[in-house]
Amino acid sequence: MKIHISSKKQIIQVLMLFVVPLVLFLVGYNFYTMQAMNERVAESNRSTVYLYKSSLEKDLQDIDLFLANLVVGDTNFQRLRSPMDPLEAHLCSKQIINRYQEMIATKRIIGGMFLFTEPNGLHREAYGGSYTYTVKEQLRSYLEELTGSGEIDRSRWQIYSMGDEAFLLRILGSGGVYSVCAVDLNRSLRPQDSTDPQNGVLLYAAPDGQLLTSQEWAKQEEVQIQWTSDSFYQAGNGQYLAVQQYSEVAGVWFVYLTPYRDLLHHMDFAQLLLLMASIALLVLLPICYYILKRLFFKPMEQLVQTMNAIKCGDLDAKMETDYRVVEFKQLSDTFNGMMEEIKSLKIAAYEKGLELQKAQLQYLQIQIRPHFFLNCLKNLYALAQERRFEQIQQMILALSDYLRYLFSDNMTLVPLRDELQSVRRYLLLQQMSASCPPTCDIDADEQLFDFQVPPMSILTFVENSVKHASLPGEPLAIYIKVMALKTEEARYINISISDNGSGFPPEMLEALNQAGKFEYTGQHVGILNVKHRFALLYKGKSIFSFSNLKRGSRIEIFIPEEGDSDDRSCGR
């Protein structure tokens, strides 16, 4: 057996587990700790970058000073600006190369130093590393072209990159004599050159973001340089923490990447314990939600669903009663009992409504004036005086069939076949009693003979035409047409009754075409009777149209062919 518990106790238990403020605090604290750790690592990395940048800038400034002293104060360099004996020019250039080699020996980052002198048509170079012939030839050709063009920027170091080799070039000189130093960025002091894999990787990038060194490694690790205002960012699919600084002296970016370590690598025991507590509380959140959903949310959803079903007309919808929470069980029992009471009251009200509707239809039925019956009795009396007994018998039989149909139950629909047959009986009585009997032509599809219509729906309009539309000395011709119509909204059966009589007076025509108006003024009671009965039986879905022709009148009725059967049979 399930143990029923109070909702108050359950809410207190859930709230004790669902400590939202504590969870938010711990999660926020952990994120803050992670951010602080990353900031601390980034600050350490920025200090490292600063050291490497300062070292390179110091070397570049020393080289700058050396080249300036050489160009300005070296006697051999000055002499090479003028044409001289080849042997003497060779000796002078040899002295300069010796100074180059001394400088290369003290500065590891120098890849090569070059001397170009146009007046004496020679060039000399000294290399600080072992380069392939292709690299040497390409670098020499580039420098010859650059010094020969005269477009030399003497104010700063220039970047020259070819494949995996990247150089910073410093060119000083004038008068066709130039001293060039090529600093190899790959020979600079870098953390990746040590044996410790945790030192990180230092990359050089041009001002436009193009990598100058370690291009293959960056491609393999999917490292992309980002130009962001943040103090650090993650690169290489989150594997590295990157910081970068720009050197105005060298004109390059220093990008330092260290292996990214998550929060666990930086936490002490207390911080790790808080993190585990946060994770535990986060795991409890779905459990708490499940408990709330099972005990509170689901019963509330079922209550709303039951109410929506009742709103849509399903009075048999009920709430479940098998709930653990006592209050929900009491609520469901009370609600179901209330719905049973409402259902019984609604049934009683519905039955009273049917009785009232039936009384209204019966009242409408007896409103038909008895003029026609009085005329039939007078005609029978006249035939009896003339001793025309056979005609009297025929007229009595026709009148009895007509009366039987006339006083049929208005709450039950009849086939169209029976309604048309009643029209024929009525016209037969008229032909037997009237001096100028009317004629009628009926055009109806046999497939519609079984369609259910209210009794006297066509007969009333035929009687009205005979009574009010007949012209003296001229036979009345009535035409009835029944056909099916289909619109975008629904299917209708169209019944049209037209005659060649006098038509409707204008004021009467306007009154008859007013929808929903049933004011009985003593005229055309039968027509208003039919409209009123149709409004009750079809809930306002039927349509009536009254009009005058050039000669005569026309009444059109549109009855919905497909619809709610309860709307068309009030006896249920």
Residue in the structure block whose two tokens are 């208003």: 528
**Domain boundaries, given as residue ranges, for the chain:** 269-357, 366-568
pLDDT at 153: 81
Per-residue pLDDT tens for 226-260?
A: 877 677 888 888 788 889 899 999 999 999 998 87
Band (479; pLDDT cuts 50, 70, 90): very high
Burial class (CB in 10 A: 0-12, 13-18, 19+), 522: exposed
Lowest mean pLDDT among 205-214, 344-353, 433-442, 554-563: 344-353
Using the predicted structure, report yes or no on whether residue 130 has a pLDDT greater than 80.
yes
Using the predicted structure, report yes or no on whether residue 365 has a pLDDT greater than 80.
no
CATH for the stretch 366-568: 3.30.565.10
Using the predicted structure, report yes or no on whether residue 198 has a pLDDT greater than 80.
no
Beta bridge partners of 172: 179
pLDDT at 2: 55
Looking at every residue in the chain, the average pLDDT score rounds to 79
For residues 124 and 114, give the distance between their C-alpha atoms in angstroms, rounded to a whole number: 6
User: Averaged over 43-68, what is the pLDDT?
Assistant: 91
pLDDT at 274: 66
Nearest CA to 317 out of 327, 332, 295, 298 is that of: 332
Per-residue pLDDT tens for 341-361?
A: 777 776 677 566 656 655 555
C-alpha 50: how far from its chain's center? 51
Nearest CA to 310 out of 334, 340, 282, 284 is that of: 340
pTM equals 0.46
pLDDT at 569: 41
Lowest mean pLDDT among 84-88, 263-267, 346-350, 457-461: 263-267
Per-residue pLDDT tens for 507-547?
A: 888 888 886 655 545 456 678 778 877 887 887 888 999 99
What does 146-189 look like in DSSP terms, one character per residue? HHHH----TTS-EEEEETTEEEEEEEEEETTEEEEEEEEGGGS-
User: Averaged over 44-67, what is the pLDDT?
Assistant: 91
pLDDT at 521: 52
Band (196; pLDDT cuts 50, 70, 90): low
Please give the angle made by the CA atoms of 417, 419 and 423, to the nearest 5 degrees: 115
Band (565; pLDDT cuts 50, 70, 90): very low
The better pLDDT of the pair 292, 259 is held by 259
Burial class (CB in 10 A: 0-12, 13-18, 19+), 479: middle
pLDDT at 58: 94
- Cβ 171 vs Cβ 146: under 8 Å: yes
pLDDT at 369: 46
